[in-house]
């Protein structure tokens, strides 16, 4: 158990290290911070922090840097809540204004978050399976090419181009569109998958082949919404904040495997807090052991998505936690306003 003053020393070490990227020594702490005690006392506090594995020496020197455990103590006990500035709040509002497409709204929110935190912003789009079909459009692009447009009750629009074997007449296309809408409108996307076989029933011969081709495309279109999708923006921020490209490369390669990152974000426990934080070696995948992931939830399309950031463990946790929380809340509010 370290003393309250030692924890204040830990806070100072983390603040200085985040700012300078250099190991922090007792002399610097005495010069920059008013602890009201001698340098020898500060050295004793640093020794207690090191014994508790909250700080460590990166090499043989008098300077110390925070450990993952030290950052965890800081986040859980010392960070506090730093309110967003008026300028930051206005920037969030401006970025989210005017966008009505749900996916574009999430992308805009992530771009804002990446700029506010100078980190990689990551967002999970919730599955659409709980949404209902509002309308299905079939548009002839040429004799044998059809555009299928699926519109949900939450405003999401999904499009596919279908190549068919036989020439499509406008009469058949109108019948098919009418039958699809009569059969599927009001159904959830999940239940609609099981009803698509009924689409071909009124058709015969070449028309049945055409309807079957459309059904195949619609099945693919609906199945593509079964899984949550991940959006990543601001990856260049890693290169700007980290000088050692050898440490960045494993992270960038791991980000290519979106399944891993999606799992890490999904498994963060948001039940006890509105912003969850996973630090360094707390991340199960070794590629992310020098990074921290901060995430929060937002509500959209009758489901919950997640957004957050990925950056070096040496980050400004107070500022970044506040930014993640604020953007998530603004995004939920934007979806709520759009649904009204």
Identify which of 59, 76, 61, 64 has the alpha carbon closest to the alpha carbon of residue 13: 64
229 bridge partner residues: 125
CA angle (108 as vertex; 105, 112 as ends), nearest 5: 140
Rounded to two decimals, the pTM is 0.73
Sign of the torsion angle spanned by Cα atoms 213, 218, 223, 227 = positive
Confidence band of 130 (pLDDT split at 50, 70, 90): low
Instruction: Give every CB contact of residue 271 below 8 A, 6+ residues apart in sequence.
Output: none
- Identify the weakest region by mean pLDDT among 195-204, 269-278, 298-307: 298-307
| pLDDT tens-place string over residues 150-168 | 887 766 777 888 887 778 7
Helix 205-223 and helix 170-184, axial crossing angle in degrees, nearest 10: 50
Residue 312 dihedral angles phi and psi, to the nearest 5°: -65, 155
How is the beta sheet containing 229-233 ordered, strand by strand? 229-233, 120-125, 303-312, 291-300, 276-279
Identify the residue with better confidence: 218 or 135.
Answer: 135
The per-residue pLDDT for 50 is 94
Q: What is the pLDDT of residue 244?
A: 55
* pLDDT surpassing 70 at residue 338: no
Helix, strand, coil percentages for the chain (3-state, nearest 5): 50, 20, 30
Mean pLDDT over 4-16 rounds to 93
- Tens-digit pLDDT profile for residues 13-48: 999 999 988 999 998 898 888 888 888 999 999 999
Residues written for the chain: 340
pLDDT for the residue numbered 281:
92
pLDDT of residue 44: 93
Beta bridge partners, 58, equal none
Quote the pLDDT of residue 14: 95
Helix axes 86-96, 102-117, angle to 10 degrees: 150
Residue 76 has what DSSP assignment?
I
> What spatial distance separates the first Cα and last Cα of the chain, rounded to whole Å?
52
Predicted pLDDT of residue 154: 67
Distance between CA atoms of 72 and 155, rounded to whole angstroms?
41
127 pLDDT more than 70: no
- What confidence score (pLDDT) does residue 208 get? 82
Residue 226 gets which letter from DSSP?
Answer: S
For residues 330 and 250, the model is more confident at 330
pLDDT tens per residue, range 241-300:
665 555 666 777 777 767 777 778 877 877 656 899 999 999 988 888 888 999 998 877
pLDDT per position as a tens digit, 43-101: 999 999 999 999 999 876 678 999 999 999 999 988 776 777 788 888 787 777 766 66
DSSP H or E run through 125 = strand 120-125
99 or 325, which is more confident? 325
Average model confidence (pLDDT) across the chain: 82
Of 122-126, 230-234, 312-316, minimum mean pLDDT range: 122-126
Q: Judge whether 64 and 70 are in contact, CB under 8 Å.
A: no
At 223 the pLDDT is: 66
d(CA 322, CA 275): 9
For the chain, which domains are there?
4-78 (1.10.10.10), 86-126+228-339 (3.30.450.40), 133-223 (3.30.390.60)
Q: Phi-psi region for residue 238, left (φ > 0), alpha (ψ -120 to 50) or beta?
A: alpha
- Give me the pLDDT at residue 262, please: 76
Residue with tokens 């207690």: 48
């Amino acid at each position: 158990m370290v003393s309250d003053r030692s924890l204040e020393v830990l806070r100072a070490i983390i603040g200085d290290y985040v700012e300078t990227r250099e190991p922090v020594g007792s002399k610097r702490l005495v010069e920059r911070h008013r602890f009201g005690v001698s340098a020898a006392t500060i050295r004793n506090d640093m020794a207690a922090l090191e014994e508790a594995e909250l700080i460590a020496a990166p090499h043989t020197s008098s300077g110390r840097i925070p450990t993952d455990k030290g950052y965890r103590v800081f986040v859980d006990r010392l960070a506090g809540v730093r309110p967003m500035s008026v300028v930051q709040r206005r920037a969030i509002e401006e970025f989210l204004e005017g966008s009505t497409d749900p996916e574009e709204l999430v992308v805009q929110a992530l771009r804002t978050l990446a700029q506010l935190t100078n980190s990689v912003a990551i967002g999970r789009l919730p599955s659409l399976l709980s949404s209902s079909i509002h309308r299905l459009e079939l548009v002839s692009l040429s004799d044998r090419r059809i555009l299928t447009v699926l519109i949900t009750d939450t405003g999401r629009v999904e499009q596919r181009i279908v190549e068919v074997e036989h020439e499509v007449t406008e009469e058949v296309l109108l019948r098919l569109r009418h039958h699809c809408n009569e059969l599927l409108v009001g159904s959830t996307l999940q239940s609609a998958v099981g009803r698509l076989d009924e689409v071909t029933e009124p058709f015969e011969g070449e028309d049945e082949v055409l309807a079957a081709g459309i059904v195949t495309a619609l099945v693919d279109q609906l199945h593509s919404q079964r899984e949550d999708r991940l959006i990543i923006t601001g990856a260049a921020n890693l290169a700007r904040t980290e000088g050692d490209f050898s440490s960045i490369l494993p992270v960038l390669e791991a980000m290519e495997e979106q399944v891993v990152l999606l799992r890490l974000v999904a498994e963060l426990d948001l039940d006890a807090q509105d912003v969850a934080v996973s630090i360094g070696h707390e991340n199960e995948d070794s590629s992310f052991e020098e990074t921290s992931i901060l995430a929060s939830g937002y509500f959209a399309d009758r489901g919950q998505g997640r957004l957050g950031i990925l950056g070096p463990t040496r980050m400004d946790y107070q500022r970044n936690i506040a930014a993640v929380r604020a953007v998530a809340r603004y995004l939920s509010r934007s979806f709520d306003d759009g649904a009204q």
